Structure 1
Amino acid sequence: MSDSSSKQIHQGRNIKRFREMLGIKQEALAYELGEDWSQKKISLLEQKEEIEASLLSQIAEVLKLPVEAFQNFDEEQAVNIISNTFHHTQGIVNYNPTFQNNPIDKIIELHEEKISLYERMLKEKEEMMQRLEKLIGK
């Protein structure tokens, strides 16, 4: 007898899923979390079923997602909801969808902001390297 309400949500796997959806590498997440973090530590974290609330909160802040995304997301349940919704709404498809307040649009927007930030950081690093090369006379 399987009771889906007692099914444990794997928070580490959810962190991995959302991190990958945002196109963020483990190294980048480790960098954002601070010097105590490394790619290996992120990898180990993503294998943990349950993660301390304070750490989940920190990761949520870095990824700009609600903590509940990691605590409540159940892929199997999401697939069931989508397949049931699709099955029950065939013939009532909205061919003029509006995407206001669409969470996926928000995730894409945040991802683009993060890419822009990384590009600015790389440009600043390159400029700093050029200045240093001039100073040391290369």
Structure 2
Amino acid sequence: MSTATKPYHIGRKISRIRELKDMKQEALAQALGTNQQAISAMENSENIDEEKLKEVAKALGVTVEAIKNFSEENVINYFANFYDNSTNSGNVQPNQCTFNPLDKLVEVYEENKKLYERLLQSEKDKNEYLETLLKGK
């Protein structure tokens, strides 16, 4: 049986979720305190221990269950249902969401928090630079 047909290749699921989130291996490696080669090896692994999976899920902003239950079919169905629901306003079918909307909200909050922290650090760096220029005069 090839790895492409194995239903539970957890590394491949992690890879696809990372790609769907437009995250590079280097970014995931930095979030996990490791290197890109370790991420590549992990994504080629069929199984990953539960503790490592929890760390990866947190870094990706999803639940462990979302990783374990991930499938291309679920993603396609989600977007197909979303499209159907938005075009058939008179005949709305329940959205079969494959992720917890609260998790998504937390993910957006965390991304905004990181952005704010980077902007704040940038301003601090700029102020320090300007202070050194003033001291030099």
TM-score normalized by structure 2? 0.64
CA contact (8 A) 1:9 1:74 kept: no
| Partner in structure 2 of residue 44 of structure 1 | 41
Cα–Cα, structure 1 residues 57 and 110, in superposed 2: closer, same or farther, change >3 Å? Answer: same
Q: Which is bigger in relative contact order (C-alpha 8 A, separation at least 6)? A: 1
Cα–Cα, structure 1 residues 32 and 102, in superposed 2: closer, same or farther, change >3 Å? Answer: same
Match of 1:137 among 111, 126, 133: 133
Q: Aligned partners of 1:51 and 1:42: how far apart in 2?
A: 12
CA RMSD of aligned residues (A): 3.5
1:123 matched to 2:119 = yes
CA contact (8 A) 2:26 2:35 kept: yes
Alignment of 1:30-69 (within 5 A): 30-34=29-33, 37-69=34-66
Cα–Cα, structure 1 residues 99 and 123, in superposed 2: closer, same or farther, change >3 Å? Answer: farther
- 5+ residue gaps, structure 1: 87-92
- Counterpart AA for 1:15: I
Q: Aligned partners of 2:71 and 2:19: how far apart in 1?
A: 16
CA contact (8 A) 2:66 2:99 kept: no
CA contact (8 A) 1:26 1:43 kept: yes
SS across alignment from 2:44: coil
**How many equivalent residue pairs?**
120
| Partner in structure 2 of residue 9 of structure 1 | 8
1:27 matched to 2:7 = no
What is the aligned-residue identity percentage? Answer: 29
CA contact (8 A) 1:11 1:48 kept: yes
Q: Aligned partners of 2:24 and 2:94: how far apart in 1?
A: 28
- 5+ residue gaps, structure 2: none
